[in-house]
Amino acid sequence: MTLTIRKSFILLTLTATLFALGCGGGTTEKKSDPKASLRPAENKTEDAASSVSSYSGTVLKLGRIPFTNPSEMVRKHEAFLEYLTKKLGVKRVTLQTAPDYSSILNQLVADKIDIAWLATMTSVDARKKPDVELLVKPIRFGSTSYRGIIIARQDSGIRSLKDLKGKKFAWVEKESASAYIFPKAMLLEANIDPDKDFSEVAYLGKHDAAVYSVLLGKYDACACYDDARNTLKDPSKVNELTIIGRTQDICNEPIVVRKTLPADLIEKIKQALLDLNIKTAEGRKVLEHLTDVQGFAPVDPRDYDYVEKVSIMLENK
């Protein structure tokens, strides 16, 4: 009887050991996949809770050009990145900066980043790339577009763009869409060559500096955003200036993604941005430091037709 019990115990122990080895008890390690973090995290069990995101292991990278120093960039985007992380159910969303917009677009196409916050002029290249999808555009001051203007003093005798020939003119900087690129195109359409027809030209770096240079009579006219005149500390001084030219509406810059992301994740990113606005307390907190952004609206590639027209005009000048 005792011998029978011992034999039974040994048999049961051997069976349990073989069963454990047959059910995945091996120690062979899988090689890591460098792109694994950009794909949906695999569920360990088929009956995993539905509340757990399929992207809980995913790290997304958002590319943007710095508009302030590195530490401030991180601080200003912290709430925004946390919002996206929570809304998308991913492991985290990180900020990655680049020296220029061409670099950001190249990183996106090369799958080195996943989302890119571009500039207005970069939209022309972005919409031509098959691997890039335009998602949304920011809303600022209640609008999804803006204009550039050219102003002069009311008492200057300058009433039209043609009156600018031979005058002293102030720009902000050559990279500015509203204070250089589009006003320059507008001048060319009026048969004024900004490179030849002004007696003096200056690049002052800031919109308010350009406005003050005209107000104080240092320059006869300047280009700035609509309406940089409101930056004047004394509102009554606005009446001393007059607008002599306005560009067409310029669509706000696009936020784009790489199309190699899963389609459902792209849709989640888009919806998360569309859900974000200053109408809620959370939205106001998240958007507080993001360059006057009040929310986001859907974008259509055709929104940038005017941008491309101007780009071609300046290239062919």
How far, CA to CA in Å, does 12 sit from each of 32, 94, 120? 38, 53, 72
226, 247, 268 - which closes a domain: 247
247, 273, 291 - which closes a domain: 247
- Does residue 133 share a domain with residue 67? yes
The reply to whether 298 falls in a domain is: yes
pLDDT in tens, 198-222: 999 999 999 999 999 999 999 999 9
Q: Which amino acid is at 173?
A: E
Residues in contact with 54: Cβ distance below 8 Å, sequence separation at least 6, in sequence order: 40, 41, 43, 89
| Model confidence band, residue 48 (pLDDT cutoffs 50, 70, 90) | very low
How far apart CA 181 and CA 179 sit, in angstroms, is 7
- Does residue 136 share a domain with residue 258? yes
pLDDT in tens, 51-62: 456 999 999 999
Q: Is the pLDDT of residue 128 over 90?
A: yes
The reply to whether 179 falls in a domain is: yes
Choose the weakest-confidence range: 37-46, 81-90, 191-200, 202-211. 37-46
Q: Is the separation of the CB atoms in 144 and 282 below 8 Å?
A: no
pLDDT in tens, 227-253: 899 889 998 999 999 999 999 999 999
The reply to whether 18 falls in a domain is: no
- Does residue 217 share a domain with residue 256? no
- Does residue 240 share a domain with residue 261? no
- The predicted model scores a pTM of 0.78
The reply to whether 168 falls in a domain is: yes
Mean pLDDT, residues 2-28: 39
Q: Is the separation of the CB atoms in 173 and 201 below 8 Å?
A: no
- Does residue 124 share a domain with residue 89? yes
Q: Is the pLDDT of residue 287 over 50?
A: yes
Which has the higher per-residue pLDDT, 21 or 202? Answer: 202
Q: Write out the residue range of the structural domain in which residue 118 sits.
A: 59-144+252-315
- Does residue 260 share a domain with residue 212? no
What phi and psi, each to the nearest 5 degrees, are found at residue 153? -75, 145
247, 271, 287 - which closes a domain: 247
Helix axes 182-189, 305-315, angle to 10 degrees: 70
- Does residue 225 share a domain with residue 155? yes
Q: Is the separation of the CB atoms in 210 and 241 below 8 Å?
A: no
- Does residue 137 share a domain with residue 156? no
Structural domain tally of the chain? 2
The reply to whether 54 falls in a domain is: no
- Does residue 310 share a domain with residue 259? yes
Q: Which amino acid is at 114?
A: D
Q: Is the pLDDT of residue 6 over 90?
A: no
Question: For the domain that residue 173 is a member of, what is the CATH number?
Answer: 3.40.190.10
Bridge partner residues of 169 (DSSP): 201, 221
The pLDDT assigned to 133 comes to 97
The reply to whether 10 falls in a domain is: no
- Does residue 241 share a domain with residue 153? yes
The reply to whether 270 falls in a domain is: yes
